[in-house]
Amino acid sequence: MSTSFLLRNGRRAISIISGGRRGTDALSGVNFISRHFIIDLSYSTHFMDFKGSSIPSSMKKLVVTKLSQNFRDAVALQTVPVPTPGDGELLVRNRFVGINASDINYSAGRYDPTLKPPFEVGFEGIGEVVGLGLSASAHHTVGDTVAYFYDGAFAEYTLIPAKKSVPVPSVKPEFLTLLVSGATAYIAMKKLGDLAAGQTVLVTAAGGGTGQFAVQFAKQAGCHVVGTCSSNEKAGFLKTIGCDRPIVYTSEDLATTLRKEYPRGVDVVYESVGGSTFDLAVNCLANKGRLIVIGFISGYQTASGIPTIRGGTLPVKLLQKSASIRGFFLPHFLGDYKEAMGNMMHSFAKGKLVCEVDCGDLAPEGRFVGLESVFRAVEYMYAGKNVGKVVVELGSPSLDSKL
Ligand SMILES: NC(=O)c1ccc[n+]([C@@H]2O[C@H](COP(=O)([O-])OP(=O)(O)OC[C@H]3O[C@@H](n4cnc5c(N)ncnc54)[C@H](OP(=O)(O)O)[C@@H]3O)[C@@H](O)[C@H]2O)c1
């Protein structure tokens, strides 16, 4: 049961009081009995761009309809109503959405086992605000360009809490590379790498979305950087971003090369591949070396999602080298997110950070445009074809918007 009333204070403070849990109001510091923000659709509509604009009543969206690590089996393209923003929300017209290796972990239900289909998918997007709720209008307006790291990005329009939005100067896909891939490398290296000038850093999947940033941050810290990749094209790219020794593991044996060229071992490993690559990375750690577990993509397409490793001897190897293995999961480091984004945006603006984007221009069926091509984009990544961050374009503002 709930009684609702509105308190309007200029354009913000609006609350509804209802029976329920107790807490402290973060804005006023007073105690309250369950607090909700306004869901005043008539007023909220005032801030929407629907009237006389090109916002349609329905949109396309990708929805997980069945749990599977096979993205095509798990996900369906659906036509649904364009949602209306609640009080603190922004409605974003997505222009670019980012593909992440973990999109298939998400569609397999590995992120939140309690989540049952149907549910939304896609971790990040960038676009324009086309509608917003009342309290969100205190800091945002229609036409703002924003990026976000929030569920449900694989849609033409996504509702996000205004607090989760990252203001960006324009809708460039390069900004999208920073939200997950860049932030992961920045925070993991800073918090867990203990990097020091002159040390050697090995980055696996170095030419990909997050690997490209790990290479650059290690180089900026004055380290010697070794990066693994599967093609000469990627090796060429890695050289342009400061990788001292790209190793094309498809044409030279990784273990042999590391043993021969780095007999002392490497001080830090930014490890994304797992399985035999993880085993090899443990073996090549120097004394007091740190291996950061970023992911284990080589297992994601299997039923368990987990590639096998030679774990039995792990304690012995770590003890003998006083080495350590450190896990990193971005959602656990959101306290460091704002600083990371600010720093990377600044570096990018100054031309000190390369944010390589791969929209599939060289993919067999061409550039990734439209939600339908998310499927192809995921497969392209899993075929190891991408150079930089895989990004899908969702239409052009000049074609269908008055913004
Ligand atoms: N912990 C976190 O919070 C976090 C956040 C973001 C990403 N990640 C992890 O970072 C890793 C990279 O993710 P990303 O989204 O940036 O992808 P990505 O690096 O852009 O693409 C994946 C790359 O992995 C390489 N790869 C090596 N073995 C592979 C295999 N067996 N199957 C498929 N690809 C293989 C491929 O490059 P080559 O062909 O050149 O080897 C491929 O291009 C993943 O493990 C992901 O889970 C973790």
Domain count, the chain: 3
CATH code for the domain in which residue 283 is found: 3.40.50.720
Spatial separation of the C-alpha atoms in residues 262 and 281, rounded to whole Å:
12
Ligand 1 within 6 A of CB of 100: yes
Q: Which atom of ligand 1 lies closest to the CA of 294? A: 1
Q: Does residue 357 fall inside a structural domain?
A: no
User: How confident is the model at residue 395, as a pLDDT?
Assistant: 74
- Are the C-beta atoms of residues 395 and 95 closer than 8 Å to each other? yes
**Is residue 246 within 8 Å of residue 235, measured between CB atoms?**
yes
Taking CA atoms only, the protein residue closest to ligand 1 atom 29 is 298
Last residue of a domain, one of 333, 351, 380: 333
Pocket test for ligand 1, best of 177, 276, 297 (most atoms within 8 A of CB): 297
Higher pLDDT, 400 or 125: 125
- Whether 272 lines ligand 1, by a CB cut-off of 6 Å, is yes
Q: What is the pLDDT of residue 37?
A: 44
Q: Is residue 14 part of a domain?
A: yes
pLDDT of residue 51 exceeding 50, the answer is no
Q: Which residue lies with its CA nearest to atom 13 of ligand 1?
A: 101
Q: Could you tell me the CA-to-CA distances from 302 to 59, 81, 100, 271 in Å, in that order?
A: 32, 35, 17, 19
The verdict on 25 and 165 lying in the same domain is: no
Q: Are residues 185 and 326 in the same domain?
A: yes
Residues 138 and 86 in one domain: yes
Domain boundary among 118, 138, 171: 171
Residue 328 has what pLDDT? 98
What pLDDT score does 396 carry? 59
Residue 225 inside a domain? The answer is: yes
Residue nearest to atom 9 of ligand 1 (CA): 295
Better pLDDT: 9 or 122: 122
Residue 394 in domain: no
User: Model confidence over 241-293: pLDDT tens digits?
Assistant: 999 999 999 999 999 999 999 999 999 999 999 999 999 999 999 999 999 99
Q: Are residues 210 and 315 in the same domain?
A: yes
Q: How far is the CA of 170 from the centre of ligand 1 (A)?
A: 27
Q: Over the stretch 107-127, which tens digit does the pLDDT of each residue have?
A: 999 999 999 999 999 999 999
CA of 22 to the centre of ligand 1 (A): 44
207 lines ligand 1 (CB under 6 A): yes
Does the residue 350 lie in any domain? Answer: no
Q: What is the DSSP letter of 141?
A: -
98 lines ligand 1 (CB under 6 A): no
Q: Which residues contact 300 (CB under 8 A, 6 or more apart)?
A: 69, 101, 102, 104, 105
- pLDDT tier at 401, thresholds 50, 70, 90: very low
- Say whether both 186 and 149 belong to one domain: no
Instruction: Quote the ligand 1 centre to 209 CA distance (angstroms).
Output: 7
Ligand 1 atom closest to Cα of 102?
47
CATH number of the domain residue 150 falls in: 3.90.180.10
Whether residue 208 sits in one domain with residue 166: no
Residue 164, in any domain of the structure: yes
**211 Cβ below 6 A of ligand 1:** yes
**Same domain? 74 vs 16:** no
Cβ of residue 133 lying under 6 Å from some atom of ligand 1: no
* pLDDT average, residue stretch 27-45: 40
Clarify whether residues 151 and 92 are in a common domain. yes
Residue 229: CB within 6 Å of ligand 1? yes
Same domain (yes/no): 190, 260: yes
Same domain, 259 and 327: yes
Residues 103 and 24 in one domain: no
Higher pLDDT, 6 or 200: 200
In a domain, 19, yes or no: yes
CB count, 10 Å around CB of 157? 25
Report if residue 344 sits inside a domain. no
Instruction: Give the start-end residues of each E strand in 213-300.
Output: 224-229, 245-248, 266-271, 285-293
- Res 339 pLDDT > 70: yes
Residues 300, 73, 160, 373, Cα dihedral to 10°: 90
Q: Which domain holds residue 7?
A: 1-37
CA distance 145 to 127: 6
On the question of pLDDT at 7 being above 80, the answer is no
User: Does 44 sit in the ligand 1 pocket, CB within 6 Å?
Assistant: no
Ligand 1 atom at shortest distance from the alpha carbon of 293: 1
User: Is the pLDDT score of 2 beyond 50?
Assistant: no
104 C-beta closer than 6 A to ligand 1: no
For residue 50, pLDDT over 70 is answered with no
